[in-house]
Amino acid sequence: MKPVRLLSGGAAHGLVESVRPAFEATTGRTIDGTFGAVGAMKARLLAGEPADLAILSRALIDELAASGHLVAGSVRDIGAVETAIAVRRGDPLPAVGSAAALRLALAAADEIHFPDPEQATAGIHFARVMRDLGLWDALGKRLRPAPNGATAMRALAASTSGRPIGCTQATEILSTPGIVVVAPLPPGCDLATTYTVAATSRARASTDAARLIDLVADDSGRVARQRLGFV
């Protein structure tokens, strides 16, 4: 049987992997998932890339359902994910409980790892936060943007600099070995993004796509999703 094809924001990668064994055992299909910045996933869907379902931010899912690219009746929320600060496991945890504390922590870092500031939900927001804190220009060469949050966090984990720091969706931090969540972005800088799943209007495996939607969004999996970083 052909795989079920998925275009997804990176924040849901760990969740999809967690349900993969149950999905494959019950359907006999594999999951062919592409994960990355939500803007890039939207662009791939609009360009006609074959897909059976999509997991993106609620705003993008609503937009794509309204334009007929997704099946409106299949739309289901998975949960919200906070944008958070990360450091390497074993490094001191910086104070980031206020905007002022976050500003000091970022100013003290020698590398700042984060996802695409133009297409990734967390990257767009974090770039805005750094600008609001008056740091964007001052940080300059210390900024380390990556195509998506998973790539950014792997780079943080592998960093050999003295004081690196990172920011992306909490789910991506929790699923990356070698780094830990420090805390969500503080009040005034915070962002919680609702991620939502829907079948595409051109789905070739609609029955099994519906099964995957149930696995990632059903109320029975809420506790498991919380362990992965959904709130």
What pLDDT, on a 0 to 100 scale, did the predictor assign at position 64?
97
Mean pLDDT computed over 33-61: 95
Topology (CATH level 3) of domain 4-79+194-227: D-Maltodextrin-Binding Protein; domain 2 (3.40.190)
Report whether 156 contacts 181 (CB < 8 A).
no
Long-range contacts formed by 181-184: CB under 8 A, 24+ apart: 181/84, 181/85, 181/86, 182/84, 182/85, 182/86, 182/87, 182/93, 182/94, 182/96, 183/84, 183/85, 183/96, 183/97, 184/82, 184/83, 184/84, 184/85
Chain region(s) in the chain for CATH 3.40.190.10:
4-79+194-227, 81-184
In whole angstroms, what is the distance from residue 197 CA to residue 189 CA? 26
pLDDT in tens, 123-181: 999 999 999 999 999 999 999 999 999 999 999 999 999 999 999 999 999 999 999 99
What pLDDT, on a 0 to 100 scale, did the predictor assign at position 2?
85
Beta pairing, strands 53-57 & 164-169: unpaired
Topology (CATH level 3) of domain 81-184: D-Maltodextrin-Binding Protein; domain 2 (3.40.190)
pLDDT exceeds cutoff 90 at 1: no
* Count of positions (residues) in the chain: 231
Mean pLDDT computed over 36-41: 93
Report whether 153 contacts 176 (CB < 8 A).
yes
Q: pLDDT confidence of 15, banded at 50, 70, 90?
A: very high
Q: pLDDT confidence of 60, banded at 50, 70, 90?
A: very high
What is the pTM for the complete model shown?
0.89
